[in-house]
Amino acid sequence: MRHGKKINHLGRKAGHRNSMLANMACSLIEHKRINTTVAKAKALKQFIEPLVTKSKTDDTHNRRVVFSYLRDKDAVTELFREVAQKVGDRPGGYTRIIKLGNRLGDNADMAMIELVDFNEIYNVAKKDAKKSSTRRGKKKAADAPATEVTSTEAESNE
């Protein structure tokens, strides 16, 4: 029975699994979204969320801890500079998993995992939807009489 066993071993030994997750995390930080299987995406989510939380406070200790997981200097630098600035006010939930369907070759469930704050499509829609409306009738610009004539238009008519 697998009661209380939280880690999905993904059919790999521990060293291979850790290297694979580190490589996937570096790719996710670099490209902001990657396509993979659903099982690997869920394992990657558990792997990268604590690292993004550590990147919110930029000090030497946190950089060394994150580097021990990722083992890629460029990915650590980008995580602490760009990603940490975008997610600074977010309390958690830095990644999103979107299921894509099945892969043609082996019918595996595919998913796209992305960093939430770097998706412009969802973020722009949220900001535009914040407009408030009132029930009172406002004068529209088209209804206002256009009687004013600027001085340049009056000169050009003469």
Bridge partner list, 97: 113
142 versus 5: which is more confidently predicted? 5
pLDDT of residue 120: 83
- H or E element at residue 128: helix 120-128
Confidence of residue 119 (pLDDT cuts 50, 70, 90): confident
Q: What is the mean pLDDT of residues 28-32?
A: 97
Q: Are 8 and 43 in contact (CB under 8 A)?
A: yes
* pLDDT, the chain, mean: 87
Judge whether residue 130 has pLDDT over 90.
Answer: no
Cβ(98)–Cβ(112) below 8 Å? yes
Strand order in the sheet with 95-102: 33-37, 109-115, 95-102
Instruction: Give the model's pLDDT for residue 142.
Output: 58
The per-residue pLDDT for 150 is 56
User: Each residue of 32-88: pLDDT tens digit?
Assistant: 999 999 999 999 999 999 999 999 999 999 999 999 999 999 999 999 999 999 998
The dihedral region occupied by 57, where left means phi > 0, alpha psi between -120 and 50, and beta the remainder, is beta
In the chain, the percentage of residues whose pLDDT exceeds 70 is 79
CA distance 51 to 150: 60
* Residue 7, Cβ density class (10 Å: 0-12 exposed, 13-18 middle, ≥19 buried): exposed
* Average pLDDT of the residues in 114-125: 82
Average pLDDT, integer, range 13-27 = 98
Distances (CA, A) of 141 to 72, 132, 138, 144, 145: 56, 18, 9, 5, 9
pLDDT-based confidence at residue 123 (cuts at 50, 70, 90): confident
